[in-house]
A and B are shown apart, each in its own frame.
Chain A
Amino acid sequence: MTTRRIEPLVWLMFSGGGVIAAVFLPVLVFLFAFAFPLGWITAPDHEHLLAVAGNPITVVVLFGMFVVLLVHAAHRFRYTLYDGLQIKAKVATAAICYGAALFLSAVAFFTFAFLLEAWG
């Protein structure tokens, strides 16, 4: 069964994503969701942000982190539906959750590809 073989990998990405969500995500949320839009801290000018965010090292690190975060979220939400809301359609919920993670990972891939192009 293929599901058996990928299961450990999914749990590994779940743990990795949990660590990233706890260690990296809070500061990004603080800056970009609150401090910059609400003017608590002067937002960096566009030129500087493009230079930092579009740097190939940043792009590779962020893309890797985003994919792992999406798998973490999909995996956890799948079990929230199963245990929490008692939705027992296992295959359908798994397909929707991992499918959404895969779709958003593809969106992330193209977002970063265009960002790299704008930087270079």
Chain B
Amino acid sequence: MTVPRSEPLTYRRPVSTWWWTRKRTYFVFVMRELSSIFVAWFVVFLLLMLRAVTDGPAAYDDFLDWAASPFVVGLNVVAAAFLVLHVVTWFSLTPQAMAIRVRGRPVPPVAIVGAQYAGLAVVSAFVVWLVTR
């Protein structure tokens, strides 16, 4: 071989495409990451809803009927399960990603996780009030 190499020749054991099915923690990790595609789906779903609202009362009624059809409900049930996985894992990871200190004392992880659920509750209550009042 006369071709110059910038990297040393090391053997890399090929990783199987299905490596994450062998252990529960690996599986949950990939499922957690996969929640991203369902977050994108809900953005598309909400855009369809807003387009229907823009188009008028008849289009809005049609959207509600379409959203109640078995296929869409089924898709949304699966997507919502992934969203719940995102919420739970995201909240529990936050204390590990950032250490918060109040007056020099570290805030216990339980308090950070609890504060996020409280935030979720307040935001949810506000949105429900705004939409349904």
Contact in complex: A38, B73 (CB < 8 Å) = yes
Contact in complex: A22, B116 (CB < 8 Å) = yes
Contact in complex: B57, A108 (CB < 8 Å) = no
Q: Is A29 an interface residue (CB 8 A)?
A: yes
A interface majority secondary structure: helix
State which of A49, A50, A54, A69 has its C-beta within 8 Å of the C-beta of B43.
A69
Contacts A/B (CB < 8 Å), 22 sampled: A22-B90, A22-B91, A24-B123, A26-B120, A28-B46, A32-B45, A32-B67, A37-B73, A43-B64, A44-B132, A46-B61, A69-B43, A72-B39, A73-B37, A79-B33, A80-B30, A80-B33, A80-B36, A84-B33, A84-B34, A86-B15, A115-B53
Instruction: Please classify how large the interface on chain A is, using the bins under 10, 10 to 19, 20 to 34, 35 or more.
Output: 35 or more
Produce 1/0 per residue, B31-63, CB < 8 A to A.
001111101101111110111011011001100
Contact in complex: A29, B47 (CB < 8 Å) = no
Instruction: Find chain B residues with CB under 8 A from A77 CB.
Output: 33-34, 36-37, 40
Of all chain B residues, the one with the shortest Cβ separation from A66 is B43
CA distance A66 to B25 in the complex (A): 30
Contact in complex: B50, A112 (CB < 8 Å) = yes
Q: Is A13 an interface residue (CB 8 A)?
A: no
Instruction: Find chain A residues with CB under 8 A from B60 CB.
Output: 46, 49
Chain B interface residues toward A at CB < 8 A: 15-17, 19-20, 30, 33-37, 39-40, 42-47, 49-51, 53-54, 56-57, 60-61, 64-65, 67-68, 72-73, 76, 79-80, 83-84, 86-87, 90-91, 116, 119-120, 123-124, 127-128, 130-132
Contact in complex: A33, B116 (CB < 8 Å) = no
Chain A interface residues toward B at CB < 8 A: 17-19, 21-34, 36-39, 41-47, 49-50, 52-54, 62, 66, 69-70, 72-77, 79-80, 83-86, 100-101, 104, 107-108, 111-112, 114-115, 117-118
